[in-house]
């Protein structure tokens, strides 16, 4: 790494610009090689800086406001946000200020604002951590906060925002013996059997990775398979299967699994993970609507959604998105439910789930599915699984998971889960 720390800071600024200005997601940028020009340490630092700045953007903006007569261009604002995060995190002011002044100066559209950047960041350095901590926790961008408050109330949303700001620990789903894995990796066993690590480091270096004893999966994402309760030999379709954690769970339970996903690249990753953990599943690259093999005992439909339940791990989402595409996703979910039912044998179960905090992608979808298909019933007994709190039960018969649950354990992703039975 250069002694000034400039390369990772410029890379973090570039990530921020692409996310807030172009609406691109962090995963898309990283996968597209945005950090490939850096060495491993600088890649990790750049990504961490950008994620921290996105998590704290609202608080940083409030800290900057007294020093700005008007909001600067986004390119300058993003440099200032990054500077605030570093200065209030204890980084030496000289290197931080000089780096972001240079970042602003290298952009021909903002070079005339080098002086402003220098002056503002030096004032921020004087406030330091005390100025940071006296500000309230960051708020979710308004386009998303408003519907969340309407759905869950202000107090609940404030709890979610605290969880988002705290970030996420690393959760593992274990093939067998969670207690032994927890001891080996230095983690704790959660009520549903997932293993949680507060500090993970390099995942592939953890004990049990090469042996295939576990895979990375947020605890909330493990619940849909647990409520399905797959049995050995059960014929199960995992529709929209990538990234594959649920496919692995199903296979580990002994089910006869067919995993379908439209992305060949993502399905290749599923196959790699199956091989690493020593499990078997049939993998099919296909559009979900084009797949017509039927007579499954059970179908797991983890439908494409807004992913608003994953913000504590993906703080870029509310800055890259604005909600305009959500209606198309909601309509697609409705069609997927209807299609999945055609592939399910009589007496079979359909698990519908989304990693969303929006009722339109959860509770309301099930209400409307029952209206379209009055012969369906909701399996209420499926909710009675280890680790599921009855406070999470919803009126229509599903399960609502939120980031403000399990606060004392480090929270969880937002998820909705319901099990429908076909007569």
Active-site amino acid positions: 355
SS3 state at 189 = strand
Q: Quick one: 340 exposed, middle or buried, by C-beta within 10 A (0-12, 13-18, 19+)?
A: buried
Query: Is the bond preceding residue 393 a cis peptide, omega within 30 degrees?
Result: no
Instruction: Determine what percent of the chain falls in helix, strand and coil, rounding each to the nearest 5.
Output: 50, 15, 35
User: Helix, strand or coil for residue 237?
Assistant: strand
Distance CA 219, CA 263 (A): 24
Q: CA geometry: angle at 199 spanning 195 and 200, to 5°?
A: 70
Report how far residue 156's alpha carbon sits from residue 353's, in angstroms, rounded to the nearest whole number.
21
How many C-beta atoms lie closer than 10 Å to residue 224's C-beta? 26
CB-based contacts of 109, cutoff 8 Å, min separation 6: 73, 75
> In whole angstroms, what separates CA 211 from the centre of its chain?
26
Which has the closest alpha carbon to 419: 226, 244, 250?
A: 226
The answer to whether 247 and 219 have CB atoms below 8 angstroms apart is no
Instruction: State whether residue 421 is helix, strand or coil.
Output: strand
Strand partners, 393: 399
Cα–Cα distance, 287 to 304 (Å, whole number): 12
Nearest of 356, 423, 357, 369 to residue 396 by alpha carbon:
369
The CA distance from 23 to 257, in Å, is 36
């Amino acid at each position: 790494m250069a002694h000034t720390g400039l390369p990772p800071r410029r890379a973090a600024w570039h990530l921020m610009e692409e996310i807030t200005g172009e609406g691109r997601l962090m995963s898309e940028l990283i996968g597209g090689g945005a950090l490939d020009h850096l060495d491993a340490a600088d890649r990790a630092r750049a990504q961490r800086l950008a994620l921290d700045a996105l998590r704290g953007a609202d608080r940083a903006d409030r800290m900057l406001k007294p020093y700005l007569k008007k909001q600067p261009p986004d390119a300058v604002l993003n440099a200032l946000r990054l500077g605030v995060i570093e200065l209030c995190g204890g980084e030496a002011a000289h290197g931080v200020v000089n780096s972001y002044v240079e970042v602003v100066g290298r952009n021909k559209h903002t070079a005339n604002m080098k002086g402003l950047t220098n002056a503002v960041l030096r004032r921020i350095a004087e406030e330091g951590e005390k100025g940071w901590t006296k500000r309230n926790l960051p708020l979710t961008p308004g386009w998303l906060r408003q519907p969340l408050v309407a759905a869950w109330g202000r107090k609940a949303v404030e709890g979610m925002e605290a969880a988002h700001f705290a970030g996420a620990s690393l959760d593992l789903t274990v093939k067998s013996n969670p207690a032994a894995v927890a001891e080996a990796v230095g983690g704790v066993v959660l009520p549903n059997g997932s293993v949680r690590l507060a500090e993970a480091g390099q995942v592939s270096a953890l004990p049990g990775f090469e042996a295939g004893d576990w895979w990375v999966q947020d605890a909330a994402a493990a619940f849909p398979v647990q409520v399905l309760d797959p049995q050995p030999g059960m014929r199960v379709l995992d529709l929209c299967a990538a990234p594959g954690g649920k496919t692995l769970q199903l296979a580990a339970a002994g089910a006869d699994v067919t995993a379908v996903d439209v992305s060949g690249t993502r399905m290749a990753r599923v196959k790699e993970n199956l091989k690493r953990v020593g499990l078997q599943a049939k993998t099919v690259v296909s559009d979900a609507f084009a797949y017509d093999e039927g007579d499954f005992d059970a179908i797991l439909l983890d439908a494409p959604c807004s992913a608003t339940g994953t913000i504590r791990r993906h703080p870029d989402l509310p800055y890259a998105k604005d909600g305009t595409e959500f209606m198309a996703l909601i309509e697609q979910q409705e069609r997927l439910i209807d299609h999945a039912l055609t592939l399910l044998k009589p007496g079979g179960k359909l698990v519908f789930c989304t990693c969303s905090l929006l009722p339109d992608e959860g509770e309301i979808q099930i209400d409307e599915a029952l209206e379209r298909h009055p012969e369906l019933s909701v399996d209420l007994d499926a909710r009675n699984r280890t680790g599921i709190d009855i406070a999470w039960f919803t009126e229509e018969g599903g399960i609502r998971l939120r980031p403000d649950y399990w606060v004392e354990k480090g929270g969880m992703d937002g998820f909705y889960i319901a099990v429908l039975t076909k007569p």
